[in-house]
Structure 1
Amino acid sequence: MKHSTDLPYPPRFVRQHGGVLTRLLTLLVMLAALVAAAGWWWVSQPLALNAPTVEFSVEAGSSPRAVARGWSEAGVQTSPELLYQWFRWSGQSRQIRAGSYEIQQGASARDLLRMMVQGDESLARVKLIEGWTFQRWREELAKAEGLQPTTRDWTPQQIMAELGQPGVPAEGRFFPDTYAYAKGNTDLAVMRRAQHAMQKHLDAAWAQRNTPTPLKNADEALILASIVEKETGQDADRPLIAGVFANRLRIGMPLQTDPTVIYGLGERFDGNLRRSDLRTDTPFNTYTRRGLPPSPIAMPGKAALMAAVRPAQTKALYFVARGDGSSAFSATLDEHNRAVNQYQRTPRKNP
């Protein structure tokens, strides 16, 4: 039989102080509940920011305390220790992902943590346009917000080798589209996505080609599509222009398309294409050389790719710009000359 002295507290102590202990325990529980409620209220309230938008990049391997301090230094006007304790208390502090993030006015500490745990990075966008050359693309990527210019000092040959296509010309190999990327990403990463997109669209277009076709392979389709892209921006005219070039390829007639000559001139082209330029031989001069040029001359879009592989069935061998963005098509040289006189030659004024 145990004696009363074996109890943690003597019966008299319990009788005298039990009520006090109960009240103290109740008070502690209530205090803890109030602290928890206050904490939950705080993490749900909008954070004070020193700007409409605050950006911060979480580096791989950063500790939760360093992340909290980084946000505070970036412009979140709250105690970094308070942020850190919230990260710990949530149980998700070790789930924070590296990446580039941004928050705007109205975001709470709970929103901030959720964003980093989900890896919901802030995205910027760059728009690459149909008909641009690879050089023009590189200029646009160099200006893109938050995009690291990894390839700034690389040659096109080095870029293509890095992308797994050594010896392949860069021109025409990237699909024109709007690309979203996380800030801090590299221009090479965007190029890689555009390269894969072009290959996907080119393969899909080639699989839908008309037969027979004067084109030997998908690369020739890409070259023709780039010419069609530069010749017109009119959707309705693309298949007809492709049809004219397909007809010329079949009979061995020179393509005689000005955009290829301009591309071949490179920096020598001053905006004015002269007759002497048409007679200046380069690998891209389709007046002096028959067949397709050796590589694309621009980045074609999907419509131009489809026009190249599914050209209109037409007897036309010529076309001339009307001056309104559309073209007039002719089957004979006489018809073409009349169209040129009508749409491009300025009538002489009477003396």
Structure 2
Amino acid sequence: MWRSVALVIFLLLLTATGAAVLGWRELHRPQPAPPGGALLTVSAGERFGSVASRLQAAGVVRYGWLLSLWARAKRLDRSVRSGDYRFDRPLSPLAVLDVLRSAGAALHRVTIPEGITLVQIAELFAEQGFGGIDAFLCAAREPNLLADLALPATGAEGYLFPDTYALPWSEAPADIIRRMAARFRAVSAELEPLRRQSGLGRHAWVTLSSIIEKETGVESERALVAAVFHNRLRLRWLLQSDPTVIYGLESFDGNLTKAHLRRPSRYNTYTNPGLPPGPICNPGRAALAAALQPAAVDYLYFVGRGDGTHQFSTTLEEHNRAVARFQRRATPSDG
């Protein structure tokens, strides 16, 4: 009988030892990163068991329960820091735990609004602590990077998609630009069938979208503004878009004058026919879509009502009446 008991104990110990060895190997074995990487948010006060389960669901680790058991046994489960984390390279479960416990490993969220320029994006990242303005602008105009991203040689303006990005503090300007350009490619790919139907080239599409983005922030008006510019392009009229003039100015104090409208500039659509040479901001998805789906209207003019919305007109006579009603005081001065 004692021999049987001893045998059972031996087998149990052997099984436990084998399981421990397998568990040890599993904890140290690097796991392939999930396709496209995984973004995980750890909330303040969240139990590590929950975090480990979500790591498993995201494909970062194979056995969340094993990592949770190890962390509790080593009393490391309470040293995990809250924040956003990205997992986009092979890591062992223990390396994942180290990332979650490391100061500075958490990501920082940066929101890029729709319709801001390349310079404004550089300023925003600098304000958030991601290096200097000049470094970002140099990267956004670096020929090899632009060629690698299949962007115009003139720069990345228009192709840095406005969105919220979770970035490590160590992210270099070139890597930020790659990430934003990749997001633009993903969004533009969704709209590619519409672009082909429209007949617009990619650069012309992004340029027109950027003008629409700057002209109105009202969702219901984007297709109407797009229609005005499509109609003017079809008739070979000047676009006469104030934001294009402003973009071409070296400095602007908020007061657009008649002298500005006459000033020579490649971006002055009061003096140059057709679209300007490139985007004047970085448009969002709604503006990109509106440029490809203009409203079926005959409008050729619009003027601001002073409340953020616009009055649209078909004839110059109607437009002049709208200007007299809504914006006589706001028309450009003689400057």
Q: Secondary structure at the match of 1:135?
A: helix
Q: Which of 235, 242, 249 matches 2:233?
A: 249
Rounded Cα–Cα distance in structure 1 between residues aligned with 2:24 and 2:271: 72
Rounded Cα–Cα distance in structure 1 between residues aligned with 2:243 and 2:150: 29
- 1:148/1:344 CA distance change after superposition, 3 Å: closer
Partner of 1:184: 170
1:235-267: CA deviations, max 9, x gaps?
A: 00000000000000001000000000000113x
**Identity across the alignment (%):** 40
- 1:136/1:319 CA distance change after superposition, 3 Å: same
Partner of 1:117: 96
**Worse-matched range after superposition: 329-338 or 117-126:** 117-126
Partner of 1:341: 324
1:36-92: CA deviations, max 9, x gaps?
A: xxxxxxxxxxxxxxxxxxxxxxxxxxxxxxxxxxxxxxxxxxxxxxxxxxxxx9667
Structure ID, larger Rg: 1
| TM-score normalised to structure 2 length | 0.67
Deviation at 1:142, TM superposition (A): 2.1
- Is residue 2:300 matched to residue 1:317? yes
1:110-138: CA deviations, max 9, x gaps?
A: 42596743655522111111000011111
Partner of 2:287: 304
Q: Secondary structure at the match of 1:259?
A: helix
Rounded Cα–Cα distance in structure 1 between residues aligned with 2:137 and 2:302: 41
1:263-300: CA deviations, max 9, x gaps?
A: 0113x322211000000110000000110000000000
Rounded Cα–Cα distance in structure 2 between residues aligned with 1:265 and 1:247: 26
| TM-score normalised to structure 1 length | 0.64
Partner of 2:158: 172
Partner of 2:252: 269
Rounded Cα–Cα distance in structure 2 between residues aligned with 1:102 and 1:312: 41
For this pair of structures, how many residues does the alignment match?
Answer: 264
Is the CA contact (8 Å cut-off) linking 1:134 and 1:298 kept in structure 2? yes
Rounded Cα–Cα distance in structure 1 between residues aligned with 2:93 and 2:183: 32
Q: Which of 194, 200, 221 matches 1:208?
A: 194
Rounded Cα–Cα distance in structure 1 between residues aligned with 2:125 and 2:270: 34
The aligned amino acid for 1:144 is Q
Deviation at 1:203, TM superposition (A): 3.5
Partner of 1:126: 110
Gaps of 5+ in 1: 1-88
- 1:332/1:236 CA distance change after superposition, 3 Å: same
Rounded Cα–Cα distance in structure 1 between residues aligned with 2:177 and 2:273: 32
Deviation at 1:323, TM superposition (A): 1.0
Deviation at 1:156, TM superposition (A): 3.4
The aligned amino acid for 1:260 is T
- 1:269/1:183 CA distance change after superposition, 3 Å: closer
1:323-344: CA deviations, max 9, x gaps?
A: 1111110000000000111111
- 1:249/1:148 CA distance change after superposition, 3 Å: same
Deviation at 1:151, TM superposition (A): 3.6
Rounded Cα–Cα distance in structure 2 between residues aligned with 1:317 and 1:210: 24
Deviation at 1:199, TM superposition (A): 2.3
Rounded Cα–Cα distance in structure 2 between residues aligned with 1:152 and 1:222: 21
Is the CA contact (8 Å cut-off) linking 1:317 and 1:330 kept in structure 2? yes
Is the CA contact (8 Å cut-off) linking 1:172 and 1:300 kept in structure 2? yes
Is the CA contact (8 Å cut-off) linking 1:206 and 1:221 kept in structure 2? no
- Cα root mean square deviation, aligned: 3.8
Q: Secondary structure at the match of 1:125?
A: strand
Deviation at 1:193, TM superposition (A): 1.6
Rounded Cα–Cα distance in structure 2 between residues aligned with 1:298 and 1:318: 22
- 1:302/1:133 CA distance change after superposition, 3 Å: same
Rounded Cα–Cα distance in structure 2 between residues aligned with 1:238 and 1:178: 22
- 1:222/1:166 CA distance change after superposition, 3 Å: closer
- 1:190/1:248 CA distance change after superposition, 3 Å: same
Gaps of 5+ in 2: 1-22, 32-39, 49-67, 81-91, 331-335
**Worse-matched range after superposition: 173-182 or 309-318:** 173-182
